[in-house]
Amino acid sequence: MKTIAAFDRIGEENAFAVLARATDLAAQGKDIINLGIGQPDFQTPQHIVEAAIKALRDGHHGYTPAAGLLATREAVVRRTLTMTGVEVSPDSVMIMPGGKPTMFAAILMFGEPGAEILYPDPGFPIYRSMIEFTGATPVPVPVREEKGFAFSADEVLGLITPKTRLLILNSPANPTGGVTPRAEIEKLVRGLEAFPEVAILSDEIYDVMTYDGEEHTSLLRFPEIRDRLIILNGWSKTWAMTGWRMGWSIWPQQLYPLVRKLAVNCWSCVNAPSQFAGIAAIDGPQDDVGKMMRAFDNRRRIVTEGMNTLPGVTCATPKGAFYAFPNISQTGWKAKKLASALLEEAGVALIGGPDFGILGEGYIRVSYANSEENILRAIERMEKFLSETD
Ligand code: PLP
């Protein structure tokens, strides 16, 4: 059997492989502390779970419209208004089975051999994987520590060529925790006016997760690019719902019928009870989100402080999401080797920076979706490991 070449090019998300290995080691009786996985270590708030159970009991067992239930799309409209001050139409909102399908849809719409797609490096690994799948040329946009892991408008604009079809942005960012300041985004939007053919995919899945008064700036705030802007967002991170597979996206008028057709062809719709849960998440009390964010904020300080005490390691204070991206270039280790040795020998799971791109060498990603106690234990183990292997 010979499958098409695109499947030789499709990549992986190594966080899942690390999780599998960590689970294996734990099953063998090893004490593993997992700072690898990008999912909140909190349960979905109970009122959201109850809404799904109620929907099932009330008989919501069938297909829904491919774009999602109107009530769920209207909830997204309300949430978008609260977060951005912008009122979008429910007929621009797609309910998707997670955040990833929006990425997939947007990249499929613009990726083909000869096309160039700009994406953040280091960044979420699926961007590059999907770009390569389509045969388009992936063009990394550097996200640098010296710039607080924000993208630079000048650098992005300098990489645009007549072949550029799509620009992918992500702030707050995975894996760095970087938040791009409003002034930089404004500058980018002004510059993009010279390139009206370039579509923009803004991955805002961590929008609520900023710290120290840092403000998330949604690209939706700029009407001048609305006719070519796709917003990716979802329930996975904010309401600790990674396993529910619930995301949403906001599309320009021209693209909306296309993504709706893709949904009809691929997944028909997101399951109905999850869509009811999604409404409860948006409209219900946000106390649990607040509690989670306070916990993340405390852990963020512990991680940053702890990483900075390790020999050869420096760690910038992350401004968003729930990741730190310590610089390990002075330890003498290559990042992936270090991540693997820490897992196998010290029982600490984290991800090597190169799993997020070429510029990830010299860094590791630490997810602080774990208890303060475990984070402190992990830091102790890393200290011991790095001192002994010095
Ligand atoms: N975008 C970013 C930047 C992410 O970090 C993730 C998940 O880790 C996603 C999208 C995908 O989210 P989902 O699990 O809802 O598909």
Cβ proximity of 381 and 348 under 8 Å = yes
Ligand 1, CB within 6 Å, residue ranges: 38, 98-100, 124, 170, 174, 203, 205, 234, 236, 242, 247
Whether residue 390 has pLDDT greater than 80: no
Looking at residues 242-249, what average pLDDT do you find? Answer: 98
Query: Which tens digit of pLDDT belongs to each residue from 124-168?
Result: 999 999 999 999 999 999 999 999 999 999 999 999 999 999 999
Whether residue 15 has pLDDT greater than 90: no
Cβ proximity of 235 and 278 under 8 Å = yes
In this structure, the number of other CB atoms found within 10 A of the CB of residue 192 comes to 22
Distance 126 CA to ligand 1 centre (A): 9
Kindly calculate the radius of gyration of the chain based on its CA atoms and give it in whole angstroms: 21
Cα–Cα dist 121/138, whole Å: 10
- Average predicted confidence (pLDDT) for the chain: 96
Which residue reads 């890393």 in tokens? 382
Cα–Cα dist 343/78, whole Å: 43
| Model pLDDT, residue 389 | 84
Helix ranges (DSSP H) in the chain: 6-9, 14-27, 46-57, 70-84, 100-110, 125-134, 153-159, 182-192, 256-266, 272-283, 287-309, 335-341, 372-388
Cα–Cα dist 219/239, whole Å: 22
SS3 content of the chain, % helix, strand, coil (to 5): 50, 15, 40
Its pTM stands at 0.97
CA 243 vs. chain centroid, Å, equals: 15
| Model pLDDT, residue 37 | 85
Mutate to test the pocket of ligand 1, among 100, 171, 233 (most ligand atoms within 8 A of CB): 100
Band the pLDDT of 12: cuts 50, 70, 90: confident
Whether residue 192 has pLDDT greater than 90: yes
Which residue reads 């306070």 in tokens? 294
| Cis check: omega of the bond before 175, within 30 degrees of 0 | yes
Q: Is 364 helix (H, G, I), strand (E, B) or coil?
A: strand
CA-closest candidate to residue 52, choices 79, 72, 74, 80: 72
Looking at residues 74-97, what average pLDDT do you find? Answer: 98
Query: Which tens digit of pLDDT belongs to each residue from 105-127?
Result: 999 999 999 999 999 999 999 99
Q: Is 181 helix (H, G, I), strand (E, B) or coil?
A: coil
Ligand 1 atom with the smallest distance to the CA of 98 is: 15
Query: Which tens digit of pLDDT belongs to each residue from 24-41?
Result: 999 999 999 999 988 899
Sign of CA dihedral 270, 275, 278, 279: positive
Q: Is 249 helix (H, G, I), strand (E, B) or coil?
A: strand
- The letter for the amino acid at 60 is H
Distance 99 CA to ligand 1 centre (A): 5
Question: Which CA distances in Å does 49 have to 74, 278, 285, 334, 343?
Answer: 20, 10, 13, 43, 34
Cα–Cα dist 51/275, whole Å: 9
Domains and CATH numbers, the chain: 6-44+287-388 (3.90.1150.10), 62-283 (3.40.640.10)
| Model pLDDT, residue 262 | 98
Looking at residues 3-21, what average pLDDT do you find? Answer: 90
Query: Which tens digit of pLDDT belongs to each residue from 269-294?
Result: 999 999 999 999 999 999 999 999 99
| Model pLDDT, residue 272 | 98
Whether residue 16 has pLDDT greater than 90: no
| Model pLDDT, residue 118 | 98
This complex has an ipTM of 0.99
Query: Which tens digit of pLDDT belongs to each residue from 331-380?
Result: 999 999 999 999 999 999 999 999 999 999 999 999 999 999 999 999 99
Cβ proximity of 143 and 194 under 8 Å = no
Distance 204 CA to ligand 1 centre (A): 9
Distance 135 CA to ligand 1 centre (A): 22
Distance 180 CA to ligand 1 centre (A): 18
